[in-house]
Amino acid sequence: MIGGRSDLPLSDDSTGAYLPWLVAPMVFLSAVALAGVFILNTLIGSWDRDVAGTLTVEIAAAPGEAAESAERTRGRVEQAIGILENTPGIARARALSQEQLVTLLAPWLGSSDLLKELPLPALLDVTLEGNGGVNLVELAAKLAKSVPGASLDDHRVWLNRLIYLSRAIEWLAIAVVVLIGAVTSATVYFATGTAMAVHREVIEVLHLIGAADGYIAGQFASRAVFLGFKGGLIGLCLTLPVIFGIAVGTDRLEGGFLSDLSLPLGGWIAVLTLPLIAALLAGLTARAAVYRTLAKML
Amino acid sequence: MARQHAAERANVVQFDGVAVRYGRGPEILQDLQFALPAGSFHFLTGPSGAGKSSLLRLIYLAQRPSRGRILLFGRDTSVARRYELPALRRRVGVVFQDFRLLDHLSTLDNVALPLRIAGASEQDVRKFVPDLLNWVGLADHIDAHPPTLSGGQKQRVAIARAVIGRPDLLLADEPTGNVDDSIAMRLMYLFDELNKLGTTVVVATHNENLVSRMDYPRLVLERGRIMRG
Ligand SMILES: Nc1ncnc2c1ncn2[C@@H]1O[C@H](COP(=O)(O)OP(=O)(O)O)[C@@H](O)[C@H]1O
Ligand SMILES: [Mg+2]
């Protein structure tokens, strides 16, 4: 569609001046939103791996005398295991034996026989199924409600909460990208409509000397493709510093879970494709606008 | 029946009970019933406002009749599909009364439009257009744009654009309105030459002098009807 000669007046036409500047901010906004989606998606992926695998449930020792306490704690452990194993996404829950506990605590408390007399909390080793689809926030609430003294690994629960929040933001960003696409095509559509009014004489003459609708529409479309692409490139130029800025900024940040804020390859491809999509969108909407105007002529 | 079909095909244009009205106004053309045989040359005359331009607009498919049927090259245009019309229009060369040149294009590009629309190569454009511009005396204005040309020069560009595609039918709406009589006669000889090569020609004019100097039949429009001259 690009190239070839044009019968349209290119110079004295305001569309040429403003269409790229309408498209550029749209592409900028979509690119930033899209980059956000991809970065967030990578982050969520890494957090997902963190919460996948195994997790630990701690059950505080029940109050009371040693024997009685041990008895009650055992009851709670059974109850917790029951709940855990009936939760979809959990493969297996198993209590650590007294010996294992003592071995775990030995570095801090020494391995005295006294340790065996202490009311130790019980630890459950929970194995998750591969796909990590357990809602830890819900599980923590359920455990805390039904089993006194039970608590889920705090860090994991918090991370899980973050994942749900991020997913919501991710969908919001996708909605923003779609919305911007719709607004951009509407803008191009009306801009082309204005150009049709300006070029009415040209269109009529071409039409009357026998140009087919496709010939006339093609001329407007290739112009819109060019202008849309130009706007897309401008928008992209504005976006790149922002994306690099995020990557450089997070390099300075310490801490594990924000380490991966650079745009993944798929994201780069999507963002670099945006000017092409803007050009295509501009071309198609221009074509539609021209056909609509021509349909009113005999 | 078969004979009638053959006759319709031999007629480049045929009007059957055609009428035209603009909006809700009165019919400015009524009961038009005539045929233009292939290879014929007609003057279309009548006072200003008689409907000459309107009649030509019907033929070059810029407008539908409010009543009746128009056959163009034997094709009933009232039943033709929209996508068939461009091909019919390309067989008709039109010199518009107000020229309708594209101001942003050079003389060469204006005249080349019909060729390019028909998909001709740039090589053909370079070959045929300068020749024709030479012929109508515009060789020195090949790169000029219409706003810099005089009325007579524009008219010749419009004529060149109408004939460059070797149309089967040439319609000229007051083509000599802006030029003096000697140039007008030269243009008429150009139409005459084309007619001898087989092009059917209709020239609308109210220049009695011109009409009387050439021996061609007339269609006279008066009060919305055709009176044979
Ligand atoms: N687009 C139009 N809308 C309304 N009336 C028109 C239009 N074009 C022409 N007319 C009217 O139709 C009549 C014939 O006009 P026209 O065909 O231009 O005549 P001519 O070419 O013989 O001077 C005139 O009365 C004119 O006012
Ligand atoms: Mg007229």
CA distance A104 to A245: 45
Contact B63 CB / ligand 1 (< 6 Å) = no
For residue A232, being part of any structural domain is answered with yes
CA B29 to chain centre: 19
- B79 C-alpha to ligand 1 centroid (Å): 25
pTM: 0.73
Size of interface A-B (CB pairs under 8 A): 57
Q: Which atom of ligand 1 is nearest to the CA of B206?
A: 22
Listed residues A148, A167, A198: the one ending a domain: A148
Q: What is the mean pLDDT of residues A135-144?
A: 82
With a 6 Å cutoff on the Cβ, whether B51 touches ligand 1 is: yes
Which of B66, B104, B115 would you mutate first to test chain A, the one with the most A CBs within 10 A?
B104
Q: Is A3 inside a domain boundary?
A: no
Q: Average the pLDDT over A53-60 and give the result.
A: 79
ipTM of the complex: 0.90
Residues A169 and A283 occupy one common structural domain: yes
Segment among A12-21, B33-42, B75-84, B211-220 with least mean pLDDT = A12-21
Tokens of B222: 């008066």
Residues 141-180 of B with CB under 8 A from A: 161
CA dihedral defined by B5, B9, B12, B15, rounded to 10 degrees? 20
| Cβ pair B61, A298 in contact under 8 A | yes
In a domain, A142, yes or no: yes
**Would you say residue A229 lies in a domain?**
yes
CA–centroid distance for B57 within its chain: 9
Of A15-29, A107-121, A124-138, B196-210, minimum mean pLDDT range: A107-121
B224 lines ligand 1 (CB under 6 A): no
Residue B46 CA: which ligand is closest? 1
Same domain, A288 and A213: yes
Phi, psi of B66 (to 5 degrees): -80, -20
Query: Do A265 and A232 share a structural domain?
Result: yes
* CA–CA min distance B148, chain A (Å): 17
Residue-number span of the structural domain to which A121 is assigned: 61-148
Assess contact for A239 and A35: CB atoms under 8 A: yes
Ligand 2 centre and the CA of B146: distance in Å?
21
Our mutation pick for probing the ligand 1 site, out of B30, B43, B54, counting the most ligand atoms within 8 A of Cβ, is B54
Same domain, A43 and A180: yes
Is residue A45 located within the same domain as residue A120? no
- By residue count, chain A amounts to 298
Of A96, A114, A148, the one marking the end of a domain is A148
Give me B95's structure tokens.
């010199």
Residues B164-183 have a mean pLDDT of 86
Does residue A94 share a domain with residue A124? yes
Give me the CATH code for the B38-67+80-228 domain, please.
3.40.50.300
Cβ of A210 within 8 Å of Cβ of B117? The answer is: yes
Domain-terminating residue out of A110, A127, A148: A148
The larger pLDDT score, comparing residue B131 to residue A193, is at: B131
For chain A, how long is the longest CA-to-CA vector? 106
Q: Where are the alpha helices (DSSP H) in B82-218?
A: 85-90, 107-117, 122-135, 151-163, 181-196, 208-213
Point out which residues pair with A54 in neighbouring strands: A127
Is the model more confident about A8 or about A225? Answer: A225
Q: How many domains does chain A have?
A: 2
Distances in Å between the Cα of A178 and the Cα atoms of A41, A174, A280 are 17, 6, 15
Answer whether A38's CB lies under 8 Å from A266's CB: yes
Rounded to the nearest angstrom, the minimum Cα separation between B134 and chain A is 22
Domain shared by A38 and A174, yes or no? yes
User: Do residues A121 and A262 share a domain?
Assistant: no
Assess whether A217 and A238 both reside in one domain: yes
